[in-house]
Amino acid sequence: MSYTSDFGNLDFDIGIETLERVIIKSEKRMHIDLGVPRENTRDEMRVSLAPSGVKIMVEQGHSVCVEKDAGLHCNFSNENYANAGATIVDSTDEVFQRSNVIVKVAPPLPKEYDSLQRNQVLISALHLGSIRSDLIEILLKRSITGLAFEFIETRDGEFPIVRSLSEIAGALAIQIAAKYLETGNGGRGILLGGIAGVPPANVVIIGAGTVGQYAAQAALGLGAHVTVIDKELNRLRKFETIFNRRITSAIANDHYIAKAAKIADVMIGALNPRAKIMKPLVKEELILGMRKGAVIIDVSIDQTTCFETSCKTSHTNPVYVKHGITHYCVPNIPSAVARTASYALTNALIPFLTKLGEYANISDALWKSTSLRNGTYAYKGYLTKKILSDISGLSYREVQMLLATDI
């Protein structure tokens, strides 16, 4: 059994940490040379750290290196970063070479693999639904410590980085739905909130998590009729309370999903797989029975698929029509509002980056910080998450055991 204690900023698992390691506390602090490269993933407009975040890191005594034009799509100029205290460099390769910690939005692409340095710390999204086995192999080969947005969990069970981006995705999903319901975009030609004498659109949200909450809030704000479907009754009870019973709720079974699909003008997939890759909840036969011109938005597409007809799209070509239904399946939805999303990401990341700088080294940080340890998926040549082992076929070891044995 594992128990958790707090001694100031020190948190540890009594079942793992030895008495000697608790008593011997180094005053040494790690100097972070933080690298912020420009994102090379297609249609990724965000940057991992806004100038405001750079300023905080520099004020804490760390160095920040930013690739030229990294914030261009967010309207953050090179001058903004330089004024915040960053060093501006010309290439991705130079950012990686000068940094011991790299923070990115998307995971590295194959053309960036050669830039990765041995024993570096990489903090980014992992995108479990499309993770590359060659990326995992190169991280293990170079003993890179990998921390993923999807895994960074605080001791109260919150996923602060994922939540921050999910809030944006949920609200934006309704904005997108309203657009593609318009006649000129091939939709049913209806106003999401209706008007006096004309009923509103029916919005069905599958998943009562953060995305679902903010989608429901935005849809209700526009006057739509909202149905939320989830497998967990307690989540639905919470939604009923949050929205003062202004939504309709239903358990996620075949009967209710089929019933909802028949009347839906908009269906939003807001699943959060966390522990495993899930199978689509909405089968193709149900989509065949939906109203022509209806809109499907699969926010879950970066991890899994909610609809059997979902295929990934991009911001350049965001939609396709199948069975008369418009499908929007862009994995990085928040990138459509890159400046807002980058500020949100910065606000969520900064506490973890500054926490990292409180410790002597990365091993010390992982040993003493529950949230950083939870976020780790690769450490000293080993995978540390079972879900990645299942996907890649590679073996894994619990990070606690690796830390405890000083491997």
316 and 355, same domain (yes or no): no
Torsion of CA 150, 155, 160, 163, to 10 degrees: 70
Q: By CB neighbour count within 10 A (0-12 exposed, 13-18 middle, 19+ buried), where does 173 fall? A: buried
175 and 322, same domain (yes or no): yes
Closest CA to 354 of 85, 32, 128, 78: 32
Choice among 43, 265, 298, 302 that is catalytic? 302
Q: For residue 27, what pLDDT is reported? A: 63
| CATH code of the domain containing 223 | 3.40.50.720
Taking 60 as the threshold, does the pLDDT of residue 2 lie above it? Answer: no
Pairing of strands 295-298, 325-328: parallel
| 89 three-state secondary structure | strand
Task: Look up 255 and say whether it is catalytic.
Answer: no
145 and 211, same domain (yes or no): no
DSSP state of 3: -
> What is the average per-residue pLDDT within 16-38?
66
Q: Taking the mean position of all CA atoms in its chain, how far away is CA 364?
A: 26
Question: 140-144, 332-336, 403-407: lowest mean pLDDT where?
Answer: 403-407
User: Which one is predicted more confidently, 122 or 302?
Assistant: 122
Count of Cβ atoms closer than 10 Å to residue 186 Cβ = 17
Q: For residue 303, what pLDDT is reported? A: 78
Q: For residue 213, what pLDDT is reported? A: 96
Q: For residue 394, what pLDDT is reported? A: 87
Q: Which residues, 6+ apart, have CB-to-CB distance to 384 below 8 Å? A: 376, 377, 378, 396, 397, 398, 399, 402
Domain boundary, last residue among 321, 336, 351: 336
Q: Which residues pair with 121 in a beta bridge?
A: 101, 145
Token pair 């940080």 is found at 365
Model confidence at 278, in pLDDT bands (50, 70, 90)?
A: low
Domain boundary, last residue among 296, 312, 336: 336
Token pair 């990489």 is found at 122
302 and 378, same domain (yes or no): no
Token pair 């090179």 is found at 78
DSSP state of 39: P
Q: For residue 246, what pLDDT is reported? A: 96
- Measured in degrees and rounded to the nearest 5, phi and psi for residue 203 equal -110, 120
Q: Compute the distance between CA of residue 292 and CA of residue 138 in angstroms, rounded to an integer.
A: 46
Q: Which residues, 6+ apart, have CB-to-CB distance to 126 below 8 Å? A: 107, 146, 148, 149, 150, 151, 377
Task: Look up 302 and say whether it is catalytic.
Answer: yes
Model confidence at 10, in pLDDT bands (50, 70, 90)?
A: very low
Owning domain of residue 349: 4-158+337-404
Q: For residue 129, what pLDDT is reported? A: 72
CA distances for 389 relative to 159, 276, 397, angstroms: 21, 12, 9
Taking 50 as the threshold, does the pLDDT of residue 188 lie above it? Answer: yes
Choice among 62, 73, 127, 225 that is catalytic? 127
Taking 80 as the threshold, does the pLDDT of residue 280 lie above it? Answer: yes
199 and 266, same domain (yes or no): yes
Give me the sign of the Cα torsion angle 83, 84, 85, 87.
negative
Pairing of strands 319-322, 295-298: unpaired
Pairing of strands 145-148, 376-379: antiparallel
327 and 291, same domain (yes or no): yes
Mark out the alpha helices in 13-103 (DSSP H runs): 19-23, 51-59, 78-84, 92-97
Count of Cβ atoms closer than 10 Å to residue 290 Cβ = 22
279 and 366, same domain (yes or no): no
The per-residue pLDDT for range 342-371, each reduced to its tens digit, is 999 999 999 999 999 999 999 999 999 999
211 and 154, same domain (yes or no): no
Q: For residue 393, what pLDDT is reported? A: 85
Q: Compute the distance between CA of residue 389 and CA of residue 392 in angstroms, rounded to an integer.
A: 5
358 and 320, same domain (yes or no): no
> What is the average per-residue pLDDT within 102-121?
95
97 and 119, same domain (yes or no): yes
Model confidence at 23, in pLDDT bands (50, 70, 90)?
A: very low
> What is the average per-residue pLDDT within 96-125?
96
The per-residue pLDDT for range 374-398, each reduced to its tens digit, is 999 999 999 999 888 888 888 889 9
Number of domains in the chain: 2
- Given a contact cutoff of 8 angstroms between Cβ atoms, the answer to whether 315 and 174 are in contact is no
330 and 353, same domain (yes or no): no
Closest CA to 48 of 127, 123, 153: 123
Taking 50 as the threshold, does the pLDDT of residue 17 lie above it? Answer: no
- Measured in degrees and rounded to the nearest 5, phi and psi for residue 42 equal -55, 130
Q: Compute the distance between CA of residue 176 and CA of residue 326 in angstroms, rounded to an integer.
A: 11
206 and 273, same domain (yes or no): yes
- Measured in degrees and rounded to the nearest 5, phi and psi for residue 70 equal -60, -30
N- to C-terminal Cα distance for the chain? 23
CA-based radius of gyration for the chain: 22
Domain boundary, last residue among 336, 362, 377: 336
Percentage of the chain with pLDDT > 70?
91
Q: By CB neighbour count within 10 A (0-12 exposed, 13-18 middle, 19+ buried), where does 255 fall? A: exposed
Q: Which residues pair with 198 in a beta bridge?
A: 195
The per-residue pLDDT for range 143-186, each reduced to its tens digit, is 999 999 999 998 888 899 999 999 999 999 999 999 999 999 99
